[in-house]
Amino acid sequence: MERVNPAQSNSARVKVELGERSYNISIGTDTLCGLGPALKPLDINPVIGLITNPTVSHYYGHTVMDSLRTSGFEPILITIPDGEQYKDILWAYYIYGEMLSNRLDRSSAIAALGGGVIGDITGFVASTYMRGIPYIQVPTTLLSHVDSSVGGKTGINHPLGKNMIGSFYQPRLVWVDIATLKTLPRREFIAGLAEVIKYGVIADSVLFEYLEDNREKIISLEADTITYIVKRSCEIKASVVAADEKEAGFRAILNYGHTIGHAIETITAYREFLHGEAVAIGMLYAAGIAKDMGMLKEDEFKRISSLIRIYGLPYEIPKDISVPAIHEAVKVDKKRKAGRIRMVLPEGIGRVSIVSLDSIP
């Protein structure tokens, strides 16, 4: 049977259905210059804070500032240093200060221009500034296009744990310009693909197959192809979030690969692997557990394994990390419940279930 090519457009729109807090994810190519007009219907105060970092601002700050000004906004550029270590309370405090001194009030909004770090801290500040003001996500990494900008998890790190302080607070709009991927370092792009592979395994065998068949187009950032994988990822995340916004249960399927992935990140002090790279190792390890438990067929395990490898993602736990060390790290993770380890295990390509285990096999 001939496979239909689902990638036929370089723009798309996905709605996150959350009643009166519903919002759109707009996916387009070279659309940053259209942000100002897109914000006009949102009925927000003209004074708007644009939170970013110097790396992203260098490439896209001017375009976004111009677009906002041309549409009648008075944007205030607020820049914090580039890096995960700045996603903390001190830099949140700095942003509050800039917002107060520039007289942003309860009807003002802020926009996050950057990857997941900028998105998370901006969402956190928006949820707490004057008891909550609107915010807009303008994600610029693949990980933030398909994952962190959607779903309303905001947060900052504490020296004793990553993402330990935060809130559920939904943005008013997510504005994805896939052309921003052209300047993203290759390693960051590939790491973001791990989350796309995750969506294929947990919910969509067609997306998974598409990733198997279209490696060259994906690697060369072919616009229709990238639009399709970003759109499908956002659709899956949107439907999971709509069903379980605050992770009472079902939303946990998005944590496939993350139990082991987080343990590896913790043991290596976040220095060796990017998040998506650690998740890739975690996904394959979890698939191995599922295969050994008889839940996942051997050939499906092999497909997951080769998809992770063809994109050049790491797939093995480093030799110097032992399984007991991983077990210890998982024990302090948020994903543990009543002393048992909860893991998302694949039952096939496109289907997972959440399983409680006594230990990591």
Enumerate the active-site residues: 131, 153, 195, 237, 247, 251, 255, 258, 262, 275
According to CB under 6 A, which residues from 127 to 146 bind ligand NAD?
140-141, 143-144
**Which residue matches tokens 């490696």?**
215
Give 115 or 346: the residue with its C-beta nearer to ligand NAD: 115
Contacts of 232 (CB under 8 A, 6+ apart): 199, 204, 207, 210
Among 198, 231, 232, 275, the residue binding ligand NAD under the rule CB under 6 A is 275
**Site membership for ligand NAD, residue 197 (CB under 6 A):** no
**Site membership for ligand NAD, residue 113 (CB under 6 A):** no
Among 55, 102, 167, 268, the residue binding ligand NAD under the rule CB under 6 A is 55
Distances (CA, A) of 253 to 36, 203, 237, 291: 35, 9, 10, 18
The least CB distance from residue 144 to ligand NAD, in Å, is: 4
Among 70, 183, 306, 322, the residue binding ligand NAD under the rule CB under 6 A is 183
- Reduce the DSSP state of residue 315 to 3 states and report it: coil
* Sign of the alpha-carbon torsion through 275, 277, 279, 282: negative
- Reduce the DSSP state of residue 44 to 3 states and report it: coil
Encoded tokens for 58: 């260098």
Among 115, 134, 171, 350, the residue binding ligand NAD under the rule CB under 6 A is 115
- Reduce the DSSP state of residue 137 to 3 states and report it: strand
* Sign of the alpha-carbon torsion through 252, 253, 254, 258: positive
Burial of 323 (0-12, 13-18, 19+ CB in 10 A): middle
The site string for ligand NAD over 75-94 (x = CB under 6 A, - otherwise) reads -------x-x--x-------
**Site membership for ligand NAD, residue 184 (CB under 6 A):** yes
**Site membership for ligand NAD, residue 278 (CB under 6 A):** no
The least CB distance from residue 105 to ligand NAD, in Å, is: 26
Residue nearest to ligand NAD (CB): 116
- Reduce the DSSP state of residue 310 to 3 states and report it: helix
The least CB distance from residue 292 to ligand NAD, in Å, is: 28
Among 180, 225, 227, 233, the residue binding ligand NAD under the rule CB under 6 A is 180
Pairing relation of β-strands 74-79 and 351-357?
unpaired
Question: What is the C-alpha separation between 221 and 219, in angstroms, rounded?
Answer: 5
**Site membership for ligand NAD, residue 255 (CB under 6 A):** no
Give 120 or 235: the residue with its C-beta nearer to ligand NAD: 120
Contacts of 66 (CB under 8 A, 6+ apart): 33
Question: What is the C-alpha separation between 270 and 278, in angstroms, rounded?
Answer: 10
Among 10, 64, 153, 259, the residue binding ligand NAD under the rule CB under 6 A is 153
| Contact residues: ligand NAD, CB under 6 A | 53, 55-56, 59, 82, 84, 87, 114-118, 120, 140-141, 143-144, 147-148, 151, 153, 163, 180, 183-184, 188, 275
